Amino acid sequence: MYAKSLGEDGAELRPLEVWHAEDLLANIDRGREFIGRHVGLPDRITDLETARSYLRSYAEKRAADAGSLHGLWLDGELVGGLLFRVWDTSLGVCEAGCWLEPAAAGRGLVTRGMRTLLDWAFDDRGMHRAEWYASTANEASLNVARRLGMTREGVLRENYPYRGVRTSTELWAVLAPEWREARAREARADH
């Protein structure tokens, strides 16, 4: 399908397809404890069949224009993913998310990849609002929302029982006009 370069460090954004199940399982296995601190994906992907099932669920979402899944690849190895968990064209609202294994953290991969996907969501698909939900304890994810220029809209207190503990979730969002203005400012600053 596509491979979009995310810079000179060998990072690429590519779709995640059902046939990537072995890559996905290996990615989750390398980062199982790290990813699972805030994201339930490692609890869901435990073997090759559950990896295939997860990828199939997003293939079905993509076919229904209701979501999508994209891989972050570094030197040909899957190191994380970006997704639109919710994609509602009738409302013009989507919910973005991510995961990343620890060896790939701190390189800006999630931010760079999500910028590409938000450009596409707003400019090509006509979305109006992109939302980002993160545990109040997930500082890395909250920092991505900040770097993307999202606005913190609130905290859902103890809304999510995760591994037997009630956790709180921050809601961040960016609107299409805000996104376009920020991108225009960046372009002017580069000249």
What string of pLDDT tens digits covers the 191 residues of the chain?
Answer: 578 989 878 899 999 999 999 999 999 999 999 999 999 999 999 999 999 999 999 999 999 999 999 999 999 999 999 999 999 999 999 999 999 999 999 999 999 999 999 999 999 999 999 999 999 999 999 999 999 999 999 999 999 888 889 999 999 999 999 999 998 888 888 87
> Which residues does 112 contact at the CB level (< 8 Å), separation at least 6?
6, 7, 11
**128 with 93: CB under 8 angstroms?**
yes
Domain extent listing, the chain? 4-190
The whole-number pLDDT of residue 188 equals 84
Q: Alpha-carbon distance 75 to 40, whole Å?
A: 26
b/e map 121-134, b = 16+ CB within 10 Å: bbeeeebebbbbbb
Domain 4-190 has CATH 3.40.630.30: yes
